[in-house]
Amino acid sequence: MLSLFLRRLALIPPLLLAMYTITFALAWLIPGNPLDNPEGRRPPPEVVEAMKKQYRLDDPVAFYFEYLGKASGVNWVLGNAPRPFDLGPSLRQPDWTVNEILRDALPVSVTLGCAAMLLALMIGLSAGVLSGLRPGGVVDSTGQMFALVGVSVPSFVIGALLLLIFSAKLGWFPVGGWGRVSNIVLPAIALSMPFAAVISRLVRVGMIEQMSAEYARTARAKGLSRGQVAVRHVLKNAFLPVLSWFGPATAVALTGSFVVEKVFAVPGLGRHFVDAVLGKDITLVMGITLTYGLVVALLNLSVDMLYAWIDPRIQQN
């Protein structure tokens, strides 16, 4: 387990470096000027030139290495920076640093993501198990229809429909915002539907395959019901494909769905990322992308360790 952990851990720095390089190149090529104010007006030319030199926007190579040194903590170790992991100021929000934006937005996205994944697990596992126990029946057909809709319909469409029905028409939930439990319900449902659909399909296939395995037939021959066999013996093995998928999926949910947060006016990472791309806020784009990459890497590492603990054969690979 320790050897597997160290091998997986050693892959994280080069992964983040590759993500940093690709994001830097794409962010630099985005049309627009990050020094324009939100109304589209530019400061005087002399102010623009001074700001370009201050933020290294006149030299992409210098910007690349200077920002990398600050973000990675290397500059702090060498004594060239006042604090480690400095992601710089936001170019479009001059009163805020990227670290401050992440500090405020990340807990919001994590709260929404946890609620969405918990809901997705509850719905997906229930639908997958019931469909897998009686393949071809009414419950199975209903579950497959649900999975098809969840996978096919974008989450922002589901979110818009939820807003139209439960906020605009019925008035049960607020249209948007954050700070109350009622603000979480609709965006969590919209964000959870695609994940619940995938979990349902994976668990259904696993249940059908495992229920026909030798150990399941032996348990049935000993007098256990289909439900008892499913819960006691089959579900753990059927859940393994979900576990390997769960790491990156959870990272997507925890760091926020870009469009869902924008639709529901949730002040999370996704909403900030959309605004940063539209405004070519390079430092904020880079900071959010690196944070997302780190979360994905750490969750994948956790899933690998959990998978190896459940199935010791993985430790040999």
**pLDDT grade for 41, boundaries at 50, 70 and 90:** low
**Residue 250 and residue 109 in contact, taking contact as beta carbons nearer than 8 Å:** no
Helices (H), ranges, 135-213: 138-152, 155-162, 182-211
Q: What is the pTM of this model?
A: 0.75
Query: 108: which residues sit within 8 A by CB, 6+ positions away?
Result: 178, 256, 266, 267, 268, 269
> What does the chain come to in residues?
317
Average pLDDT, the chain: 79
Q: Which three-class secondary structure state does DSSP give residue 89? A: strand
Phi, psi of 234 (to 5 degrees): -90, -40
* DSSP line for 39-73: TSPPPPHHHHHHHHHHHTTT-HHHHHHHHHHHHHT
Q: How confident is the model at residue 45 (pLDDT cuts 50, 70, 90)?
A: low
pLDDT at position 309: 67
> pLDDT category, 204, cuts 50, 70, 90?
confident
Q: What is the pLDDT of residues 152-165, one digit of tens each?
A: 887 878 888 888 88
Q: Residue 256 has what pLDDT?
A: 56
Percent of the residues in the chain that have a pLDDT greater than 70, as a whole number: 87
Q: Is the pLDDT of residue 123 over 80?
A: yes
pLDDT tens digits for range 222-256: 777 777 777 777 777 777 777 777 777 777 776 65
Could you give phi then psi for residue 95, rounded to 5 degrees? -85, 0
- Within 10 A of 141 (CB to CB), how many other CB atoms are there? 13
In this prediction, residue 217 carries a pLDDT of 76
Cα 102 to chain centroid distance, Å, stands at 15
CA 155 from chain center: how many Å? 13
For residue 315, pLDDT beyond 70: no
- Rounded distance between C-alpha atoms, residue 122 and residue 231, angstroms: 15
Query: Three-state SS string across 297-314, please?
Result: HHHHHHHHHHHHHHCHHH
